[in-house]
Chain A
Amino acid sequence: MSENIFNQTSKNLKKKMRQEFADTMLEVGMKDENLVVLIGDISHFVLQPFAKACPNRFYNIGICEQTITNMAAGLSKVGFYPVIHTINPFIVERSFEQLKLDFGYQKLGINIITVGSAFDYGALGSTHHCYGDFALLKTIENMQIIYPASCEEFNTLFKQTYANGFPTFFRIPEAQHQMDLGNITFGKGVLVREGKNVTIIAIGPQLKTAIEAANMLAKDNISAEIIYLHTIRPFDKELVNKSINKTKKCIVIEEHGKYGGVFDDVLRESKDIMNVKYRSINIGDKFIHKYGTYKQHCERLGFTPENICDKIKKELL
């Protein structure tokens, strides 16, 4: 059992993702006077250094996500690189049409930086969960989707993309995978570990679980290859297919619902490779009615190294 990921709290992480968000805004905002940050009344305390260093470029707009999102289109039109920030479902689901029409259709740049990944707000209940976000956002032409699960990843990928003129969605989880992945590039997945018997594709903090699983499998002489995707869209077809071509067995581990997540992309993009067996561990298609900790949610939903190993051994090998 990987205690590292399940027991992660703000206390035992070196730095919180939300702090990295604030630090990155300060770092970029000091250099680029076109960065403007709009928030929906969360994270205001942690963003105070940015607010002080970049006067007139920080606005706590209020609790009105449609307007926060839509007005960023106006800022983009006059040359700014807007960042909007609040809890995932309140932008992606409540303001979906604004994302679709004001940014996707008009191809205006925006950086949507959300907390409340999947069931991170496990103790708060279903209103604060969001695990259909990739499915929804992938229907919007021009939308880039990034899921960084370490501070370094967020900092690097934000700097690589924030000014490229596209709408870019960042799903920021609370847990981190705690891996040093070296140099990373937007749109390019990472081959974390080479193997030959099975491909494990992991996203978000579940990379850590996947590594634990691969270590357990190694004891049984099963060699697992691990691919980590920090960029969900565009999808790194080349890296994924190269691995699937080799192993012919693939399991996707994702904190996303059953429909429209990375597993769907993997199936679609590798459909021409013959004789492949696929499995997926995901959140399913039901509301989560339980409360509890991140660890409890992960265990109940099957995001454990033991479950990954079990599924691989019983259903793929």
Chain B
Amino acid sequence: MKTNGDLRYAIANTVYSAGEGHIPSAYSIIDIINVIYGKFLNINKNDVTNKDRDYFILSKGHGAVAYYVVLEKYGFITKEDLMTKSKENAILGGHPDCTKVPGVEASTGSLGHGAVTALGIALGLKIKQQKNKVITIIGDGESNEGSIWESALVAANLKLGNLCYVIDNNKSTEQILPMTDMAKKWESFGWEVYEIDGHDEEEILKTFQKIDFSYVGKPKLIIANTIKGKGVSFIEGHGPWHHKVPSDEELQAIKEELL
């Protein structure tokens, strides 16, 4: 089985069942979210509002299905929730909704919001002198948004060492508005920058573990180099699969590649 082949297949199956979803954008972040929930952050499925919890926000909300299958894997939601995604009375939709899904901290979808909410949480925790960590995943395309760069200035100025942005650098904006020299850009804004393979779980975990999340310090940026659709040969890359639903045959082909 390929890395997180089960989760990747669950993503495809959820999109197939819902008739809607962004598979490639989910495949590029699935390994990162699996590490965050499975091995790193302290978030208890039975006490999702505990004040001592760490905070995760999926700012690139269209990667929601990756988030959902991880939430299901660790018991926050059920398989039935996955299979009813986007149905009329479902708790899961095309983007994560904190008013419906246990453990989701912010309703994202409009880009450039979730990261800034995370910034505010980090400031709040710093004022309270609490040691919780705050991690958010933003997209490289989302980095086109002005609010991301406003927040880059503000987080550095406020010395929010407890805040970590992970850029899902899946090259979605490479041919549109390229985010060149990303590491240099963020370093020049005053952030501590790491660059990793966003599909290597060991490297992802080691990077998180070596970060000093003390609430006074430079905010952290991890550039996670990823591939849209990673794991299934015919989905990989920037193309027609962005918001495509697999047919019966395609779902079978995805299964054969992954499991």
Contacts and interface: CB of A to CB of B under 8 A. Distances in A.
Interface of A: 36, 56-57, 59, 61-62, 64, 66-67, 70-80, 82, 97-98, 101-102, 105-107
Contact of B150 (A57, A64, A75, A97): A64
Contacts of A102: 106, 113, 117
Nearest to A67: B150
A74 B127 contact: no
B118 A74 contact: yes
B51 to A, nearest CB: 8
Contacts of B240: none
A70 B107 contact: no
B157 A75 contact: no
Given A97-B110, A101-B107, A66 B117 contact: no
Interface string B103-118: 0011100101100111
Nearest to B116: A70
Contacts of B121: 74-75, 77-78
A193 to B, nearest CB: 44
A97 B120 CA distance: 17
B10 interface: no
Given A97-B110, A101-B110, A62 B120 contact: no
A78 B128 contact: yes
A79 B124 contact: yes
SS of B interface (majority): helix
Contacts, number: 92
B120 A72 contact: yes
Interface residues of B, number: 29
Interface of B: 51, 98-99, 105-107, 110, 112-113, 116-125, 127-128, 146-147, 150-151, 153-154, 157-158
A19 B45 CA distance: 47
Nearest to B134: A74
A57 B154 CA distance: 15
Residue with the greatest number of chain A CB neighbours at <10 A, chosen from B105, B121, B147: B147
Nearest to B124: A78
30 contacts: A36-B124, A59-B158, A62-B150, A62-B153, A62-B157, A66-B112, A67-B119, A70-B116, A70-B147, A71-B116, A71-B117, A71-B151, A71-B154, A73-B106, A73-B116, A74-B117, A74-B119, A74-B120, A74-B122, A75-B121, A75-B124, A77-B105, A77-B117, A77-B121, A77-B124, A78-B124, A97-B113, A105-B107, A106-B98, A107-B99
